[in-house]
Amino acid sequence: MALRIPTISSSHGLASSPAVFLAVGSSWASSAAAAVQKRSLLLSTTTSETRGGGVAPVRSSGLETTSVGVRAEAITGQVTEVNKDTFWPIVEAAGDKVVVLDMYTEWCGPCKVMAPKFQEMSEKNLDVVFLKLDCNQDNKPLAKELGIKVVPTFKILKGGKVVKEVTGAKIEELAHAIDTVKSG
């Protein structure tokens, strides 16, 4: 038996080809199958109504992709992974809501320590949009645009502009900065 796993395109979500075929039975294949099952739950795709004169967007896990570009919804109560293509549309969709961006890398120890704390913070602050950006090679242009120098870095935005920044694994400082922006 083989398991077909679609590849991920860096800028457009799921790609239809090429596909990867795995022999089911190895522990890696089982992990991959679990990941695919989770991804399929997150990426259940439905067509939404046509907006503003013509392009019918497709919704996928809170993001809408169109032939023109990416429109997005700002989701609260969870951490949403963004990339160079989805970040600004989500910030724009957030409107006047506070947006907190966790800029991390896969190899960063302090980033791994902060991840569950950041998730917990997102579940408690239901009026704030929490995002995370892997500062890998694909997202380097956005990381550079946002002026990242060290990871983890947390950027707090309001009205589409960065208003505060916290660097390092400082959860109390981050919580205080978020509260300050929310109340101001």
Q: Which residues are catalytic?
A: 108, 111
Q: Quote the tokens at residue 97.
A: 């809501």
- Listed residue (133, 38, 121) closest to 76, CA to CA: 121
- Listed residue (96, 89, 101, 110) closest to 146, CA to CA: 101
Is the separation of the CB atoms in 129 and 75 below 8 Å? yes
DSSP tag of 97? S
DSSP three-state, residue 170:
coil
DSSP three-state, residue 169:
coil
DSSP tag of 150? S
- How far is Cα 125 from Cα 70, in angstroms, rounded to an integer? 26
Is the separation of the CB atoms in 83 and 10 below 8 Å? yes
